[in-house]
Amino acid sequence: SSELTQDPAVSVALGQTVRITCQGDSLRNYYASWYQQKPGQAPVVVIYGRNNRPSGIPDRFSGSSSGSTASLTITGAQAEDEADYYCNSRDSSGPVVFGGGTKLTVL
Amino acid sequence: QLQLQESGPGLVKPSETLSLTCNVSGDSIKSNNYYWGWIRQPPGKGLEWIGSLYYSGDTYYNPSLKSRVTISVDTSTNQFSLRLISVTAADTALYYCARHTSIGFTSGSYASWFDPWGQGTLVTVSS
């Protein structure tokens, strides 16, 4: 079955760098996209494709990939980055999958 | 600016059919290279993709929901719709619609993402 695995929770000190990872076989052929979701709000894409940021997303957000693992890195985390983060990809046979989400706490 | 807005009943009885519509404004639903998708999120839980549709009618669904789901499009009103039959309490969720981009690269890699999203609509399944 198609699955994307994320750590349930990650914390980072204010101003430090944090990496959120996503593992799954589909990531060998599909770039992950990453979504930020704050309480009571719809998800917002922060990274898509190889390492693309939509307009309005700060450049402290970046994406990378190696083998079956994709990573979202926040360099210099800010208080407003505290949120749930989801990765997303497609399975080679077609279905779209989301990771279970990572709750990021900024200390 | 592209905007999506979900609409439909907020309460559905068990065993009945959930029907939602997503209104697309700011761009044509017939734009090339874009699919249109539905995603849901049960209260306090993660995101689950339901299915995606191309304006021509080409659709693909989450295998776990495929037997109960139909996504359709009305190009005359620039809307697409979700129909989920035989609902249970497990279908209680916030339902989002979103534009779905899925492209391939010459390197043999692919990318798929959802942007933008509607604000979501809560559907509760209860008698």
Nearest partner of A84 among A61, A67, A101, judged by Cα: A101
CB A44 within 8 A of CB A86: no
pLDDT in tens, chain B (127 residues): 999 999 999 999 999 999 999 999 999 999 888 999 999 999 999 999 999 999 988 999 999 999 999 999 999 999 999 999 999 999 999 999 999 998 888 888 889 999 999 999 999 999 9
Contacts of B39 in chain A (CB under 8 A): 98
Cβ density class A69-103: b for 16+ within 10 Å, e for less: ebbbbbeebeeebbbbbbbbbbbeeebbbbbbbbb
| Interface probe with A: pick from B61, B114, B119, most Cβ of A within 10 Å | B114
Task: Tell me the C-alpha distance between B37 and B51, whole Å.
Answer: 6
Nearest to B85 by CA among B108, B68, B102: B68
- Are B62 and A33 inside 8 Å of each other by CB? no
Across residues A32-59, what is the average pLDDT? 96
Confidence of residue A4 (pLDDT cuts 50, 70, 90): very high
CA distance B58 to B73: 10
Q: Does residue B91 come out as left (phi exceeding 0), alpha (psi in the -120 to 50 range) or beta?
A: alpha
The position carrying tokens 């999203």 is B117
Q: What is the pLDDT of residue A92?
A: 64
| pLDDT over 60 (residue A1) | no
Lowest mean pLDDT, pick from A76-85, A98-107, B54-63: B54-63
3-state secondary structure of B57: coil
Task: Say if the Cβ atoms of B113 and A99 lie within 8 Å.
Answer: no
Q: Is B39 an 8 Å CB contact of chain A?
A: yes
Are the beta carbons of B60 and A54 separated by less than 8 Å?
no
Binning pLDDT at 50, 70 and 90, where does residue A15 land? very high
Q: Say which amino acid occupies A97.
A: V
Q: In whole angstroms, what is the distance from residue B38 CA to residue B50 CA?
A: 5
pLDDT for the residue B92 = 98
Q: B120 in contact with A at a CB cutoff of 8 Å?
A: yes
Determine which of A33, A52, A65, A96 to mutate to test the interface with B (most B C-beta atoms within 10 Å).
A96
pLDDT of residue B108: 80
Label residue A54 by pLDDT band (50, 70, 90).
very high
Is B118 an 8 Å CB contact of chain A? Answer: yes
* Most A CBs within 10 Å, among B34, B40, B47, B105, to test the A interface: B47
With tokens 């997503």, the residue in question is B22
The DSSP secondary structure of chain A, one letter per residue, reads ----EE-SEEEE-TTS-EEEEEE-GGGGTEE-EEEEE-TTS--EEEEBTTTB--TTS-TTEEEEEETTEEEEEESS--GGG-EEEEEEEE-TTS-EEE---EEEEE-
Of residues B61, B96, B55, the one with CA closest to residue B74: B55
Residues 6+ apart with CB under 8 A from B72: B53, B57, B80, B81, B83
- What is the pLDDT at residue A90? 86
Distance, in Å, from the CA atom of A56 to the CA atom of B52, rounded to the nearest integer, reads: 26
